[in-house]
Amino acid sequence: MNNNIFNDIYLGEKYPYLRPYISKRNPYDSKVFLVGINPATPITPIQLNIDEYIGLLKNYEKFMEFYSKSRGSQNKIKISRTRIGINSLVNWIEQEFNTGVIETDIFTYPTKNVKELNNIDKNILNKSVEKFWEVLLEFQPDIVILYGSLALNEFKKLVISKNKEIKYYSEEDKIEYIEEKCPYAKLNIGTKDVNIIACRHLMYYGNNGNSFKKLRENIKMIIEEHV
């Protein structure tokens, strides 16, 4: 494990830690990236010291336990709609294809809601995006699944800023139509072409993803043909 991934996730006592990624399995054996806009449950140095936090990131079950307790202490439901959708999709992928999933975000800086991102210092946001890019290059997934229009749009901006070669297979703007395309794009990161697909926000996925059947078909197609 490259522990450099966890460098620079401490931003200061008054800021939450960056969250580079979490994964149930060895991230180097995880072929799928599941990418949102940013984490929604901040964890601060007041709650955990840096070593405790890094230990939490490396232990998926303990992270989820802490996550639920943290939300409960804030009088929130212990598992958000988005987390329900993420858990359901991740479980399906891991059980169906026996491969791990890395859960990460374009902005690895957590906020209570996405609107708060607008109030965060640009230098911090840029650092948080660089951390995502570092994670992407380190683990070299075969598939990146971007959920939600915000994540998709920020990913496009990031690819442009990195001057990376990417080929799009659809000119659609609406996420509902982009979800139908498989793959939506292919991104070259050095020696590898990564399949990119995108879908509606996973807060709409629910426990079984009934309205995301096409997404699952597309994931299955890519894994079976390209992985």
| 194 neighbors 145 (Cβ within 8 angstroms) | no
Picking from 14, 18, 17, the residue whose alpha carbon sits closest to that of residue 134 is 18
Q: CA gyration radius for the chain? A: 17
Distance of CA 226 to the CA centre of its chain: 21
pLDDT value, residue 17: 98
Confidence (pLDDT) at 50: 97
pLDDT of residue 79: 84
pLDDT at 2: 65
pLDDT at 76: 77
The sheet carrying 100-105 orders its strands as 22-23, 100-105, 30-36, 143-147, 193-199, 185-188, 166-168
Per-residue pLDDT, 176: 95
Q: What is the pLDDT of residue 227?
A: 55
Gap between the Cα atoms of 186 and 207, Å rounded:
29
CA 142 to chain centroid, in Å, comes to: 14
Q: Tell me the pTM.
A: 0.95
Could you state, in chain order, the average pLDDT of each consecutive group of 10 residues for the chain (227 residues)?
85 96 96 96 94 97 92 80 96 96 98 92 97 97 97 98 96 95 95 95 96 97 82
At 14 the pLDDT is 93
Sequence letter at residue 215: L
**Residue linked to tokens 């802490």:** 66
Tell me the CB-side half-sphere exposure of residue 16, using CA atoms within 13 A. Answer: 20
Long-range CB contacts for residues 49-57, cutoff 8 Å, separation at least 24: 50/9, 50/10, 50/17, 53/9, 53/17, 54/6, 54/9, 57/6, 57/19, 57/20, 57/21, 57/22
Q: Are strands 166-168 and 185-188 parallel, antiparallel or unpaired?
A: antiparallel
Minimal CA–CA distance to 22: which of 134, 128, 152, 135? 135
- Cα separation, 186 vs 189, in Å, equals 10
Classify domain 21-42+79-226 by CATH number.
Answer: 3.40.470.10
